Structure 1
Amino acid sequence: MARQDMIARNQKKVIVTDDVSNMLYAAPGNMTRALFERYLERLASADADMIAVDMAIPDLCYYRTEVGDWWGQFADDCPQSFWNVFHNVRNLIEGGDDPGEIMVAGLRRRGRSVIANFRTNDCYAHPALRTRWEKAHAHCLVKLPMIPTQEPVLPFFDYAFEEVRGHRLAIATEILDRYDVDGLQLDFIRGLPVLSSPAQADRLTDFVRQVRSAVNRAAKAKGRTLTLGAILPWDMRTLDDHGIDHVRWIGDALLDYVIASERSYADCNLRIRPWTKMVEATDCAVYGSIFGDLADGTVLSGTDRLPDRAFVTMPQICACATNLYHQGADGVAFYNFYQELHEDKFPLLGRLRDPEALRTEPRQYISCRVPRYAGKQWLRLEIGPHPDPNERKTFRFYLGEEIVNRSATLAFKAIGMTLDDELIVDLNGAELPAGSWALPDPIEPMRTLTGVTMHVGDLMYGRATAATPPLRVGDNEIGFRRIRTSALQQAIMVAEIEILVS
C-alpha cells in the first residue's frame, strides 16, 4: 500500500525485526530443521505486516553463502556465548539444509511478508567471528579519531573503500537473487561508524544507490514490487556525524521506508517529528522503533545492588505507539523483541495499527532515560540536601494525547527521600497541590522497573492524578523543588517518572 493511501486510511503498519541468532542460541548445537520450524511457527504468530530476519551481519551469514562465510564455517574456537549459533548453523548446513531458505520459505508459507535484514557494519572483537574477507582487508578498517593509526577495538569497516562496498553489495545481491524475500532492510544501528570521515558521505550514498538498483533488478526478475528500507538513528545530528546523508537518500527516492530508531532501549520520548515532516511530500514511510528492553539500570543504578533488566510491557508499547503516531509515524517497528520474552505479545501487535483503538488500551508513559541516541544515561535529577525554593530541577517528556477528566496518574520514584522531606512538583509551571500526592505506607514493599523490591528508606514514590491542563499534548516539563528536608539532610535523586492512563 502506497504511503499516501495509508495516510488517507489512517492505516498503520507493524514491523518486527528478528535477531535470528536468538533462535539459534536455543538448541545446544543440535538444531534440526523440525526444531527450527517450531521457532518459526512462534515467530509467525506475531501479527505484523512485515517480519525482517537477519540474513547477514554483514560478512557472517545465516545461510549457505558463496560470497561471505557462514557461522562456524571456518572456525571452532568461538567464544562461549556464540557456541550454540556456530554449531547450529553448521549442523543445519552440513545436514543439507539452508537456514536462510528455511526461514524465508517457512514464514512465507505461514502468510508473512519477509524482509531480509542486512546489518551494515555489525562486528565482533573475537578473531573467530571475523571472516576470511575481513582478515584479508584489515587496511579497510575505519580509523577512529582517537586512535587514527590503530585498529579500532571493534573492526568496523569503512564504506569509503570500494572493496567494502563491492563485497557487501555482492552479499546483498546474493540474498535478493536467491531467496523469495519481499525486500531488504539496511540496518545502520548495527552498527556505526561506517566511515572514517563524514566528508566521504558520497561513497556511502553510492552504496545505497547500488543496493537500490539491485532491489529493482530483483523485483523485475520476480515480477513483483520489492521494498528497500533502512534502520537509522533517530537523532539527525548522529547521522551527520557519521556521513549518513539521509536527506539525499529520501530525496532521491532510494528508500521506501525509514525506521527512526534508538540503539538499545524502548523510549516513550523518542522524537521523530523531524522525520515525518521531511517525508511529507514523498512516498517514503517513517516508522518509530520500540525495543523489547526498557532498561537495564534505572532507580538502583550506582548502588551496590545490581538490577535485573526491565522488559517492555503492552501498556508501555501502547504509550510509545501513541506518542509516535501523534508525531505522524506511519507505523511502529520492533527490535530485540525476543520470542522467549515477548511471545505472549505477538498476537496483540495488530492492535497497534489503529491509533483510535489505542485509546481503549492502558498506556504507561515511562521516563527513565535521558533522550540521547545510544546513550546509557539514566534519568537522574539530583536535588540538593538543603531546602532551596529557587533550585528547580526539570525533565522534559512527550505526551501524544489529551488527558481528560483527571483520568491519569502521575508518579515519580526517588532515592534518598523520606516521609519528612517535602518537594513542590509542577507540571509546565503549574504547581500540583501538596494534598494531591499519595505517599507510600512505611512498610509497603515497592518494586522498581527492574524488579527489585525495596522499602521506604531506600526508595520513595509520589502519586497524583493529572489531566490536560496542566499536562499538554506534545512536549511537557516536570519540575521539582525542595522546601523541607529531613534530619538526614541528604540529597534526593528522582530517577523514574511515569504517567499511567487507564
Structure 2
Amino acid sequence: MAMKKRNSTLILLGAFWLAVGCGYTCAAEKPGADKMRAGRIVHVWDGCTMWLTILDQRVGAPNREIPGPAAQFSKRILEEMIDEEAAAHVDAIAYCLFTAFWSDLPSSKITDLFPWRPAGMDEVGMDPLEVLIDRCHHHGMDFIADIRMNDRHGVPPNGIAKDHPEWALFGGAYNFALEPVRQAMLDFNQEVLDGYEVDGIEYDYMRWCHMFKPGEGEQNAHLLTDFTRKTRKQLDEAAKRRGCDRLDFGVRVPQLMGECDHLGFDVATWIKEGLVDFVVPSDFMHIDMNMKTEDFVNLAKGTDCEIYPAVHNRISMDEPNEHYRLMNLANMRAAAQNFYGFGADGVSPYNYQFAFERRGVAHRSSAYAAYMWPAALGWLRELRYPDQVGARDRHYLFYALHKKKQTVGGYPSDDNIYLDRAEPVLEGRQRFRMAEDFSNPHLRTTMQFKAVGLANDEKLEISINGTQVPIDYITRVQDKNGQNMYEGDPLPPFDLVIIDMNWETTGRQQPLVFGDNRLAVRLVPTEAKQDGKVSIEELECYVYVKKPKRSP
C-alpha cells in the first residue's frame, strides 16, 4: 500500500495558524472546518513488548491464565489489540520482527525464532505475523516490517551469526563494513517480502546507532547508501510482483543531523534519490521537544518523502527516574505542536507500552497505570490531528535528555545551565523552542525551572530573548525536601522559580516568540562567599488555551 504525499497534511507555518485560528476551538466545532486534516501515525510495536504487556508470556510468573484453546485465545488478543489501534486512528503498525538475528519468521534460514511467542499458536501452525497483518489490512492499516539494525541488549549471537564470530562489532552488534553482514540483512528482507504481505520495511537505526567501528561512520557512509539502494530495489521488485505501485521504506535515525553524518547515515542522499518514503528523527529513548524538525523537512522539500518525528513517553535519562516518570497528554501535545509547527507530516510513537506497562510488570510508579490500556491509544488519536493539538493545553518539557552524558551516538545532550562560583562569569543560556503564536490573546503561558544549590540570600537575574524578566512576574519557592526518584530526577533541596508571562497586565510586551527562544540566568554574587555550583534544571513551559463561553 504505497504512501503518497497528502496535501492536506503538509503543515506550513502560516497555513498551520490559519487553520488553527484563534487556537481555542477544534475543527469539529467550526462550521465548514476540514475535519479530515490529519497527520500520519506510524506506531512502532517495539518487538513483542506491546502484546507481551497484554498477553504476558515472559519468564517467571505470568500475569494471566491462558484458557483453552490457547491458540484461539492468543489470536483473539492480537486481533483486539489491532482493533484498538484502528479505533485510535493509527495509520500503520511498524512491527519489530528482527533483532540480533532473532526474528518472528518460523521458516527463516537467516535467524532463530524469538524465544517469546504467543501461547499455543506455534503448536497448531498459526503464524502470529499473519494474524497481525490480516487484521491491519482488515482495518485499512499498513503493516510495516520494522528491523532493529544493530541491537546491543547483550544478546548472544543467534541464527547464522553464530557461525561468524568475525562479524562481531561490540556489545552484541555487527560490523556493517563487512559485505556478508549487509548481505545477510538483505537476505532476511527477501524472506519477509517473499513470505508476508507487508506494506513496507523500516530500518530502525536507533537500535543502537553504531553500524561501524566508532569514528568510522562517515568514511563508510557509501556502504550504507549502497545497502539502502539495494533495499529499495528489493521493495520495488516485490511491489511489481504484487501489482502495486510502491512499498514503503522508512528509516529511524538520530534527530541531530550532525550525528547522522557522524554515524554514516547519509539521509540527504537517501531522500534525494527517492530511496526512502519516510524518515523518523528520534532520540534513543526520550522525547526531544527541542528537535530541529525543519532540518529533515527541508531535505524532503520537493520529494515524496515524509517526516514523522518520534514521540517517546519517557522524558529524560536522569537515572533512575527514566523508569518512573512518563509524558502526559499535555506533554505529548506540546511535542506534536512543535513537530507539526516545523513541517512534520505525522508522528511515530515508540515504546508506547510504558503507558500501561503495569499490566505486565510490578511497578511503583502510577505513571505506568494498568488501566491506561487501551485508553492511552486515545492520546494518539488526538496527536493525529494538528488542529486538535492546537486547541488544547500544551505542557513543554525542556529537560536534559542524557544528563551529564552523551547520546548513544556520542553527541552531548545536556542543555541544563551550570553556574560555577569559581568562574568569573556566572551566567548561562539555554535554548528552548515552542511553535506558538504568542500574539494570540487566547494563550496564557507560565514558565518554571528548578535552581539547585542556590543560597537563601542569593538572587538570579533572568532574561528571555535578551529582555530581563520583571521581578513582579517572578515567584521563588524553596523546596527543602528536594525531589525523589518517583517525582523525577532525584534532586537535593532546590528553589522553584516560576515566571508568569502575562506581562500585558502592566503594559509590557512579553518576549517569547514562535520558534527558538533563549533563557539566560545570571547568579548575582553576595557579600557572603559561597562555594560550589548552581544548576538550572527542568525548564518547563505551560501554554493554557483559554476557551470562550459557549453561546446558549
> What's the CA shift string for 1:421-479, capped at 9, x where partnerless?
32111101111111211233768x78679525999x71221112126741111111101
Say which is worse superposed, 414-423 or 256-265, in terms of deviation.
414-423
Q: Counterparts of 1:209 and 1:17 in 2: how far apart (Å)?
A: 23
Distance 1:65 1:57, change over 3 A: farther
User: Kindly, what percent of the aligned residue pairs are identical?
Assistant: 23
Cross-structure match for 2:547:
none
Other-structure match for 2:541: 499
**Larger CA deviation: 215-224 vs 364-373:** 364-373
Paired position in structure 2 for 1:257: 278
1:407 offset after TM fit, Å? 0.6
Q: Are 2:481 and 1:428 equivalent residues in the alignment? A: no
Q: Could you say which residue in structure 1 is the equivalent of 2:341?
A: 326
* CA displacement, residues 212-257 of structure 1 (integer Å, 9 cap, x when unaligned): 1221122223333421111111222222222222222111111111
Q: Does 1:474 align with 2:515?
A: yes
What is the CA distance between 1:498 and its match in structure 2? 0.6
1:41, distance to aligned residue in structure 2 (A): 2.2
Of residues 430, 444, 464, the one that matches 1:407 is 444
Contact 1:28/1:88, CA 8 A, preserved across alignment: no
**Partner amino acid, structure 2, of 1:113:** D
2:7 to 5, 23, 31: 5
1:401, distance to aligned residue in structure 2 (A): 1.1
What is the CA-CA distance between 1:90 and the residue it aligns to? 8.5
What is the match of residue 18 of structure 1? Answer: 45
Residue from 495, 498, 501 that aligns with 1:460:
495
* Equivalence for 1:146: none
Q: Which amino acid aligns with 1:403?
A: F
- Work out the CA distance in 1 between the residues paired with 2:490 and 2:257: 39
- The answer for the alignment partner of 2:28 in structure 1 is none
- CA contact 1:386–1:485 (8 Å) conserved in 2: no
In structure 1, what residue type is equivalent to 2:382?
R
Between 61-70 and 253-262, the greater mean CA deviation after superposition: 61-70
1:155 is aligned to 2:155: no
Change (3 A) 1:477 1:263: same
CA distance 1:391–1:349, change in 2 (3 Å):
same
Matches within 5 A, 1:45-194: 45-46=84-85, 47=88, 48-57=90-99, 59-71=101-113, 86-88=115-117, 92-127=121-156, 130-142=157-169, 152=170, 154-194=171-211
Distance 1:449 1:486 in 2: 35
Give the secondary-structure state (helix, strand or coil) at the position aligned to 2:80.
helix
Which residue is equivalent to 2:419? 383
Distance 1:36 1:416 in 2: 55
Q: Does the alignment pair 1:212 with 2:232? A: yes
Q: Amino acid of the residue matched to residue 200 of structure 1?
A: N
Per-residue CA deviation, residues 111-163 of structure 1 (Å, 9 max, x unaligned), is 43211111122244343xx2131121222334xxxxxxxxx2x1322233232
Give the Cα–Cα distance (whole angstroms) in 2 for the partners of residues 428 and 453 of structure 1.
27
Change (3 A) 1:485 1:495: farther
Q: Which residue of the other structure, out of 335, 340, 364, is the alignment partner of 2:350?
A: 335
CA distance in 1, matches of 2:180, 2:433: 44
Aligned partners of 1:452 and 1:276: how far apart in 2? Answer: 33
Measured in 2, the distance between the counterparts of 1:295 and 1:453 equals 9
How far is the alpha carbon of 1:186 from its aligned partner?
1.1
Q: Is the CA contact (8 Å cut-off) linking 1:37 and 1:102 kept in structure 2? A: no
> Which residue does 1:83 correspond to in 2?
none
Residues 36-83 of structure 1, C-alpha deviation per residue, up to 9 Å, x if partnerless?
Answer: 6425523542321111111112521023132223345xxxxxxxxxxx
1:149 matched residue in structure 2: none
* Secondary structure, counterpart of 2:376 in structure 1: helix
Q: Which amino acid letter does the alignment assign opposite residue 109 of structure 1?
A: H
CA distance in 2, matches of 1:454, 1:210: 48
> Cα deviation per residue 1:289-321 (whole Å; 9 max; x = unaligned)?
111211242xxx6xxx97753211111111111
Q: Any conservation in 2 of the 1:386–1:482 contact (CA below 8 Å)?
A: no
In structure 2, do the counterparts of structure 1 residues 131 and 8 end up closer, same or farther at CA, with 3 Å as the change threshold? closer
The answer for unaligned runs of 5 or more in structure 2 is: 12-36, 357-367, 503-508, 545-552
Q: Contact 2:106/2:113 (CA < 8 Å) preserved in 1? A: no
- Specify the code of the residue in structure 2 equivalent to 1:358: V
**CA 1:28–1:131 in 2, change beyond 3 Å: closer, same or farther?**
closer
Q: 1:484, CA displacement in angstroms?
A: 5.2
Q: CA deviation at 1:8?
A: 5.7
Identify unmatched segments of 5+ residues in structure 1. 73-85, 143-151
Q: Any idea what SS the aligned residue of 1:407 has?
A: strand
Residue type of the alignment partner of 2:419? I
Q: Indicate the residue corresponding to 1:27 in structure 2.
A: 57
> What letter matches 2:243 in structure 1?
G
Work out which of the residue numbers 447, 453, 476 in structure 2 matches 1:439: 476
How far apart, in 2, do the equivalents of 1:314 and 1:442 lie? 26
Q: Which amino acid aligns with 1:360?
A: A
8 A Cα contact 2:74 2:121, kept in partner: no
From the superposition, tell whether residues 449 and 439 of structure 1 become closer, same or farther in structure 2 (CA, over 3 Å). farther
1:387 and 1:486 map into 2 onto residues whose CA distance is 16
**Using the alignment, how far apart are the partners of 2:519 and 2:183 within structure 1?**
51
Answer yes or no: is the 8 Å Cα contact 2:100–2:155 preserved in 1: no
Which is worse superposed, 286-295 or 202-211? 202-211
Q: 1:168 to 1:94 in 2, by over 3 A?
A: farther
Alpha-carbon spacing, 1:485–1:384, altered in 2? closer, same or farther (3 Å): farther
SS in structure 2 of the partner of residue 264 of structure 1 = coil
1:454–1:133 distance in 2 versus 1, CA, 3 Å:
closer
Aligned length: 468
SS at match of 2:106: coil
**Structure-2 separation of matches of 1:293 and 1:430:** 33
**2:478, 2:494 within 8 Å by CA — same for their partners in 1?**
no
- The CA distance in 1 between the partners of 2:192 and 2:325, in whole Å, is 35
Return the alpha-carbon distance in structure 2 between the equivalents of residues 370 and 28 of structure 1. 30
Distance 1:442 1:243 in 2: 46
Cα distance in 2, alignment partners of residues 89 and 376 from structure 1: 40
Are positions 1:38 and 2:77 aligned together? yes
Instruction: Label 1:40 to 1:422 Cα distance change in 2 as closer, same or farther (>3 A).
Output: farther
State the Cα deviation string for residues 173-202 of structure 1 (Å, max 9, x = none): 211222222111111111222234332322
How far, CA to CA, are the matches of 2:187 and 2:48 in structure 1?
Answer: 22
Task: Report the equivalent of 2:364.
Answer: none
- Secondary structure, aligned partner of 2:309: strand
Verify: 1:397 aligned to 2:432, yes or no.
Answer: yes
TM-score, normalised via structure 1 length:
0.84
After superposition, the CA RMSD in angstroms is: 3.1
